[in-house]
Structure 1
Amino acid sequence: MICDGNGIPLVVGLGGGNRNDILQLIPLIEAIPPVRGKVGRPRRKPSRLYADRAHDHDRYRCQLRNRG
């Protein structure tokens, strides 16, 4: 699940009980809807991402950094 800063869910994904949560990270990031805010073209991605320790892996951190 990915939530905004107020705790409102933006994206929810279900996976098998015996699969690692980290495998759901990239598909959830890609499924985030456009961010509402100022008038004009909506941002396609949030400015910051906070994750728990289960999602802290160098490989995925590099993938997210490359995506901007």
Structure 2
Amino acid sequence: MDRSVQNVHRDVPPRIIQYDWSGLADQDERSKQLIAEDVAAGFDPAVPPMRRLQLIKFDGRIHGVV
């Protein structure tokens, strides 16, 4: 192939997962494990969705995003 080609999938929704860890004592350990699992899952630009988002509620006012 003489040139780069990019396929754009217009109808693929982003993967969004929400966690509510309010009141859990092991939030730090859960956070470390979630990040390790996300890194281990890797990223393949050939496999949609290109966007993935994990939202974490630690308590009523503190949230995190992976």
Normalising by structure 1, we get a TM-score of 0.29
Q: Higher strand fraction: Structure 1 or Structure 2?
A: 2
Q: Higher helix fraction: Structure 1 or Structure 2?
A: 1
